Amino acid sequence: MTQGQGTLEVKDLHVSVAGKEILKGISLTLKKGELVAIMGPNGSGKSTLAYALAGHPRYTVTKGTATLDGKDILSQTPDARARAGLFLGFQYPVEVSGVSLSKFLWTAYTQRHVAEEIDIDAYQARLDGNMGQLGVDGAFLKRSLNEGFSGGEKKRIEVLQMSTLEPVYAILDEPDSGLDIDAVRVVGESIQAQRKPGIGILVITHYQRILKYISPDRVYVIVDGVVVKEGGRELAEELEVKGYDWVKPPSS
């Protein structure tokens, strides 16, 4: 096996936005089959990490590497990263007028699996199954992508996209923010249901409450652009009790 096979590996990643350094040397790994949580207070750089890995043009990587199965992704365009198997579930999904969810999903799926022969029936069956699990009504397929969807609906649709597009590494940026308790459970359980040997999932969250449903293999805590703590599930619970002040970065 090639070096780095089966891993999304981030080493010493420094990222600036509009000239201001937000990430100051983040290193972490996500293996296929793993579910890893990234926690941290607001403004710690969690979402910056997600955007930088997905290749948003406004996020400039100034130092460090990120590799997907041993191959550099930072030099690739966002779409090439996606086709290589990376997925970003947005904290604030974008509305695209006039493009139906079903057309969008199909277009994205065919782009992601461009070299393969696609079994349309199998695709449809999987989509139906995923929608059932997430409790997404079939009527959503005909509606414009995210347009007029509630916050909870948008989050569910992001998870639906993940489960339908079959990425190899998925980053979910705060899939639980803005949701009520019931919706957190639905989203959490459906993420848990996606756990398979072939996919590594990175869940970014501010709160511990979604972790009740998804039991992460590991937890990273990011504060002020660096990883300040790494541990197992119990770390999340400790944070819930003690708060983020407990894990201030060593320098400050």
Partner 1 sequence: MQDASQMTPLDYTRYDFKDPETYKVRTKRGLSRDIIRQISKIKNEPSWMLEYRLKAYEHFLERPMMDWGPDLSDIDFDAYTYYANPMEGEPRKKWEDLPADVKNTFDRLGIPKAEREFFGGVGAQYDSGTVYHKIREDLTKKGVIFTDTDTAVKEYPEILRKYFGKVVPYTDNKFSALNSAVWSGGSFVYVPPGVDAGIPLQAYFRINARSVGQFERTLIIADKGAKVHYIEGCLPLGEEVLVGDQLTPIEQIESGQTVLNSAGEETQVEKTMVRPFDGELVTISPVSVGNTFQLTPEHPVLCVPRAQVQTGRRSNRKLTDVSQTKLAKAEPRFVPAGELREGDFLHYPINKTVRDVPEMSEAAMVVLGYYLAEGCAQTINGCEAVTFTFHIDEAEFVNELDAAVVQLTGKHLWRNPQPGKHAITVGVYSKELHAFCVEHAGKLAAGKHLSKQVMDLPPEKQALLLDAYYKGDGNNYERGGTVHRVSTISRQVAFQVQELQARQGVFASINVREPFTETMKDGRTISHQRMYVVYHQVGKRAEAVRKVHGAFLVPIRKITQTPYRGSVYNFHVAGDNNTYLTKGFSVHNCTAPIYSDNSLHAAVVEVIAEPNAKIRYTTVQNWSKNVYNLVTKRAFAYENALVEWVDGNMGSKVTMKYPSVYLKGRGARADILSVAFASEGQIIDSGAKAVHAAPDTSSKIVSKSIAIRGGRTSYRGLLHVARGATGVKAAVRCDALLPDGISRSDTYPYNEIHEEDATITHEAVVGKIGEEEIFYLMSRGLKESDAIHLILMGFLAEFAKELPVDYALELNRLIQLEMTGAVG
Shortest reach from residue 233's CB to partner 1, in Å: 29
Rule CB under 8 A: which of 12-41 touch partner 1? Answer: none
Place of tokens 């983040």: 26
From candidates 82, 204, 219, 236, binder to partner 1 by CB under 8 A: 82
Q: Which amino acid is at 73?
A: I
C-alpha distances (whole Å) from 85 to each of 57, 68, 169, 239 are 19, 9, 6, 32
Residue 117 binds to partner 1 (criterion: CB under 8 A): no
Between 109 and 220, CB nearer to partner 1: 109
Q: What is the C-alpha to C-alpha distance for residues 13 and 193, in angstroms, rounded to an integer?
A: 30
How many residues bind partner 1 (CB under 8 A)? The answer is 29
- In Å, the largest CA–CA distance within the chain is 56
Shortest reach from residue 123's CB to partner 1, in Å: 15
Q: Please choose, out of 82-90, 198-206, 211-219, 227-235, the segment that lies near partner 1 by the rule CB under 8 A.
A: 82-90
Q: What is the C-alpha to C-alpha distance for residues 17 and 96, in angstroms, rounded to an integer?
A: 25
Torsion of CA 246, 247, 248, 249, to 10 degrees: 160
- For Cα atoms 158, 162, 167, give the angle at the middle one, nearest 5 degrees: 150
DSSP class of residue 143 equals: S
Site string for partner 1, 49-68 (x = CB under 8 A): -----xxxxx----------
From candidates 161, 190, 205, 208, binder to partner 1 by CB under 8 A: 161
Binding site for partner 1 (CB under 8 A): 54-58, 77-79, 81-83, 87-88, 90, 93-94, 96-99, 104, 107-108, 111-112, 115, 144, 161, 165
